[in-house]
Chains A and B, each alone.
Chain A
Amino acid sequence: SAVISQKPSRDICQRGTSLTIQCQVDSQVTMMFWYRQQPGQSLTLIATANQGSEATYESGFVIDKFPISRPNLTFSTLTVSNMSPEDSSIYLCSATTGLPDTQYFGPGTRLTVL
């Protein structure tokens, strides 16, 4: 199983600023994903982070708001841009070597926007 770390674990940010979240996996993985979990809700997929190319975004999420990088097979970043209070959520990254492998999750980044 992959061990995934995220930084920061939590942050409180001001409206209009941006925050970059880092996700590090302890082994090479094929696929990395970013999810958002709004308070009291389930997880919603933001995008698939593709190594060496642009991320694939789900409906309702755009690159200008959530730019993603994946420079290699073990690392990815998600930036939450021009934040508003509605962006207050837990952001989780996950990784897998592909089916039938399991998708493992990082500990999450708890973001509060004031």
Chain B
Amino acid sequence: AQKVTQAQTEISVVEKEDVTLDCVYETRDTTYYLFWYKQPPSGELVFLIRRNSFDEQNEISGRYSWNFQKSTSSFNFTITASQVVDSAVYFCALTSNNAGNMLTFGGGTRLMVKP
């Protein structure tokens, strides 16, 4: 069975602070895919990034960066210079071919960025 753990249920920061959201996963599959989604108060789920298990390169997109470490089964997400618009619930998710493409979600981390 696959499992995703987001130990931080809620984080509160002040605007312009950097913040890291943790994600730890478990899977027996050797080929798998990790995702981060953002859910703003409006409720839709917005795709942020996909990372394949065979590609351990870290990625940066503007103020967002992701650190994928297979050795620790972690896929952490950092927001640099946070803004109020970053306030949302962030979900880490996992799937694989053996899982039938079904996503296993973490519990989510609610990020509140205060002005």
Contacts and interface: CB of A to CB of B under 8 A. Distances in A.
Nearest to A44: B105
Given A99-B95, A100-B52, A42 B106 contact: yes
B44 A42 contact: no
A102 B106 CA distance: 17
Contacts of B103: 33, 43, 45, 94, 103
Interface residues of B, number: 23
A108 B44 contact: yes
Contacts, number: 54
Contacts of B50: 100, 102
A57 interface: no
B91 A1 contact: no
Interface residues of A, number: 23
Interface in B85-100: 91, 95-97, 100
B64 interface: no
A76 interface: no
B43 interface: yes
B33 A105 contact: no
Contacts of A98: 101
A31 interface: yes
B107 A42 contact: yes
Given A42-B107, A42-B108, A102-B50, A31 B44 contact: no
Given A102-B35, A108-B43, A48 B105 contact: no
Interface of B: 33, 35, 37, 42-47, 50, 52, 91, 95-97, 100-103, 105-108
7 contacts: A1-B47, A41-B107, A48-B102, A94-B45, A98-B101, A103-B103, A108-B44
